[in-house]
Amino acid sequence: MEDEGDYPEPESGSGGINLNGRNVGAVMVAPRDVDIASQSGCRINIYVNSNVQATCGSALIGSKVKLRDPGVHLHIEDVKMTRDDNISRQKEMRCCDLRTLYMIPRVSMRRRSAEVAPTEPMEKGNGKNQTNRICLLVALSLFFWALLLYFHFVVLGSSNIDKQIQLQPSYAQSQPSSISLRVDKFPIEPHAAPSKPPPKDPLVTIDKPVLPPAPVANSTTTFKPPRVVDSRQKQEFSFIRALKTVDNKSDPCGGKYIYVHDLPSKFNEDMLRDCKKLSLWTNMCKFTTNAGLGPPLENVEGVFSDEGWYATNQFAVDVIFSNRMKQYKCLTNDSSLAAAIFVPFYAGFDIARYLWGYNISRRDAASLELVDWLMKRPEWDIMRGKDHFLVAGRITWDFRRLSEEETDWGNKLLFLPAAKNMSMLVVESSPWNANDFGIPYPTYFHPAKDSEVFEWQDRMRNLERKWLFSFAGAPRPDNPKSIRGQIIDQCRNSNVGKLLECDFGESKCHAPSSIMQMFQSSLFCLQPQGDSYTRRSAFDSMLAGCIPVFFHPGSAYTQYTWHLPKNYTTYSVFIPEDDIRKRNISIEERLLQIPPEQVKIMRENVINLIPRLIYADPRSELETQKDAFDVSVQAVIDKVTRLRKNMIEGRTEYDNFVEENSWKYALLEEGQREAGGHVWDPFFSKPKPGEDGSSDGNGGTTISADAAKNSWKSEQRDKTQ
């Protein structure tokens, strides 16, 4: 209750006892207009409105509870007494100075004024008895007031704790001598200093007192004790602010903010300035122009569009992705708002400089320096790097050196403990590791606006395709597991098949216009494994509206799960390698079994996939279409968000996670939490130590150092491009 001095004095002539003050909600009023002239004593009139329990849980709004004076103060003033009993009455009135409650209502008691004359003689004759009656009535009224407050705050104040404790804890912070009534657990020790406000954490920690909030009237919510966690875990949940941005419906970037590390230039831009050293076989300087797209392609034969076509190198994703990130609409300088954190390290360009003729110390140097730099940043401590991601435009095997032998291939970036926490986007990922994710190879098409995409799609729909199937590639005579030789033979012997052979020296296979022209003329494009699981040709063919035919699930289905539909039969044909290698099945006969109407539907699905398989011009941004960059960034955000929510809930995304089965988890249906046996298990039989790196003969491929080295031979073939 506010001090009496804050409110108008009662009018002279009023009778009875007034409970002055403001109490929004439950109101107690002792009116001054009660006629007690005919009475021999004073009357206490207490009016309590009928909505006492219909008020909100936070009672006494605008009131103060002063801990330094925790009791009821009974103030009696303007009492006229005779000189004979003045002393005795003053002693007796001290009995009414009660200090037994925790709230501090101030009671002002006035005797009727001298104008009420008829009762004056009676007062003088019965002063002592009259005073005792007044004290008794005042004590009774205060006792009723105490019971009301005790019932309201103590009895009813023990429910509805869960939501207010976890979501809206409210503690008085401004005045050390008062405490807000929203901290509702009573009793409060008299003269005790208020506790410090708790940190803004979504969970109640074990080293803080649990104070339940006041109840909402008529609430039927049952009490649920808050989930208690160790206070040492609080640092893990400092990303709560970032999670809450999605709740701001007026912010189009809520839940989508990206924070980009400002790395030293040696990790990116310095490599571009020294571009001649980026590849042993190719002068990469021309391919780093135009924000990484390379030189524009001339549309001499009418194969391309007039705008948006470039001679893009297949390993240029590092710089394309980083430049594209500069145009991202939801960048932030506040890492606490970030849904994910991007590391603009040109990992692919870095390793490309030192793969041939350099020792492992030199190959590992930049990766080790990068990790050291990141771990010293405050952003790293939020999730120990699990919200960080980077891009490397090379296959994963260039970053997975298994030993410290100088003859072993690549560096060990993806095996560094810190890097295992990060997500690395590569053009080919490992089926047996969980910290890399496949993103499309860059094609030659980089539109700057939606209309360029729509025009290209319409053109691909209306093309006449005279070839049933086609293949662009070279044989692999050194690899006995390769089926390329048999595919080439079937193309040569078919009247409905088209072959574009690729080998050393001058070849139409190295001309983008020749490749795209053949794909545009074909219904199906054969995509066997290259030197490793994947090849750029798969994306060039789909860009041309050609239905891809895969022979190994690792060539697309387990690689690009962010960008391609889970149901691969809607856009592609799968023929197991063993059907070609051991059974010599006819590709032509297999494709002719597909009804023409189904072929039309599959081709339309491929054409609809085009936007999410290409990288838009990094110097602009598509208006409504989501390109490969947008899809990749959103997938990273979703991954980090799921991880954060699981950390808060104290659960994992999968049960009994086995990293060697990483390729299976993206194929699980919604709600599945454990990966069991799969029909594709034979394709991913991991080579045992000491084996030659090939699989057990059930359709596997040569992986690790040999595959990575062979991919460099392909670059050497392309040097005349």
pTM of the model: 0.67
In this prediction, residue 238 carries a pLDDT of 84
C-alpha to C-alpha distance for 339 and 351, rounded to whole angstroms: 29
- Rg, the chain, Cα only: 40
Of the candidates 18, 46, 35, 30, the one whose C-alpha atom is nearest the C-alpha of residue 110 is 18
| Closest among 238, 236, 318 to 279, alpha carbons compared | 318
What HEC string does 449-471 produce? CHHHHHHHHHHHHCCCCCEEEEE
- Which amino acid type is present at position 323? N
- With helix as H, strand as E and coil as C, how does 246-277 read? HHCCCCCCCCCCEEECCCCHHHCHHHHHCHHH
pLDDT for 383 equals 93
Rounded to the nearest 10 degrees, what angle do helices 450-461 and 596-613 cross at?
160
What is the predicted pLDDT for the residue at 177? 34
pLDDT of residue 40: 46
Residue among 511, 618, 58 nearest 289 (CA): 618
- pLDDT of amino acid 148: 76
Q: Which residues of the chain have pLDDT under 70?
A: 1-131, 151-236, 504-507, 686-721
| C-beta of residue 410 within 8 angstroms of C-beta of residue 717 | no
Give residue 283's pLDDT: 87
pLDDT given at position 147 = 77
CA angle at residue 463 from 457 to 469, to 5 degrees? 105
pLDDT for the residue numbered 128:
52
* Tokens matching residue 195: 């506790």
pLDDT, residue 300, reads 85
Going along 44-135, which residue ranges are E strands? 47-48, 73-77, 106-110
